Structure 1
Amino acid sequence: MEKNDYKEQPGKYTIIAWVGLLTGTLDAVAAILSAHKMPVVTVFKFIASGIFGKAAFAGGFEMVAAGIFFHYLIACSITAVLFVLYPMFISFLKSKYVVAVVFALIAWVITHLVIVPLSRIGWSHMDIGGTAISIGILIITIGLPIALIADRYFVSKK
């Protein structure tokens, strides 16, 4: 009997889903750690307040769950788009690490200049130091995981 060592690679959508969960989790952990001793539930109620406004802070578990849902929805959506666009970015940037930085910048623009201003949270003042820290976090939690895993996926498909 011959041993078959061949393992089928997971499909693109499966990988995107797992990478979305990874980036969402990494970003959530970073948000919790950088929330300056704010309770975890408050971090997710803040996210829920983007849809529900100040009522989110008076809510209970349902608002925490809504915040978690919205956080992962945004993270998975950004991940899916950037993962699919990876071949285009790598073709002209030539370095998966440069792509990771560009992906982090795109994620920052989408969240801070589009989603947050359109939400019930509204526009908030940004200082250069806070922005740099935020982008640095996104490089680690969003850009690098997407770029490194997408690179491995697309290289294996050649």
Structure 2
Amino acid sequence: MATAYSRKTSEIRSAGLAIATAGLIAGTLDLAETLIVFGAKSPLVIAAGLLGMQNASRGGAPIYILGALLHYLIVFSAAAIYFAVSRRLHFLLEHWLICGLFFGVAIDVVMRMIVLPLSAMHARGPYQYHELAHGLAAHMILVGLPIAFSVQRFGSR
């Protein structure tokens, strides 16, 4: 018979594994896509959201690393949110494919409507259609799906 302590430890391990796997996969896929599409200075632009473009454009390895770390922080936070909500809304696990796609849309909307306008870059749009379509597709496939799959696969209830 499992004790309450061992069940709790098992739950914490599965949460950690699910969130870590989701964050690493989705973060790496999204960062790779960003580097390919927007170029090697993308982490500097991410850091500019915190530091401002003038400070981030001075560049250097520390600013570049900060941008990459901020990117992963955002993706790990999204994975943790999906995991936490999936504990209450079990259909997120049962229908992970469609829910992952919708979660990717939600991530893109939150980034465009809340995070970017509140960042030091104050990006508010207007956005071109191809930018919106590309962002939605990338977040749905490269972020939402890996997070939903990883939480479903590794985050046992």
TM-score range, shorter chain: 0.7 to 0.9
Contact 2:92–2:148 under 8 Å retained in 1: no
Contact 1:46–1:67 under 8 Å retained in 2: yes
- CA 1:66/1:92 → structure 2, altered by over 3 Å: closer, same or farther? closer
TM-score between the two structures when normalised by the length of structure 2: 0.81
2: CA distance, partners of 1:25 / 1:44: 12
Contact 2:35–2:42 under 8 Å retained in 1: yes
1: CA distance, partners of 2:144 / 2:135: 12
Q: Which amino acid aligns with 2:56?
A: A
Deviation, structure 1 residue 130:
1.4
Tell me the percent identity: 26
- Unaligned ranges ≥5, structure 1: 1-7
1: CA distance, partners of 2:27 / 2:116: 17
**Pairwise CA RMSD:** 2.2
1: CA distance, partners of 2:146 / 2:115: 22
- CA 1:106/1:89 → structure 2, altered by over 3 Å: closer, same or farther? farther
Q: Give the secondary-structure state (helix, strand or coil) at the position aligned to 2:125.
A: coil
- CA 1:61/1:93 → structure 2, altered by over 3 Å: closer, same or farther? closer
Match for residue 143 of structure 1?
144
1: CA distance, partners of 2:78 / 2:55: 27
Note the alpha carbon deviations across 1:62-117, whole angstroms, 9 max, x for none: 11011011111111111110122235455289632210111101111221111111
TM-score between the two structures when normalised by the length of structure 1: 0.81
Match for residue 46 of structure 2?
47
Contact 1:104–1:139 under 8 Å retained in 2: yes
Give runs of aligned pairs for residues 8-27 of structure 1, distance below 5 A: 10-27=13-30
Q: Which amino acid aligns with 1:24?
A: G
Number of paired residues?
145
- Unaligned ranges ≥5, structure 2: 1-9
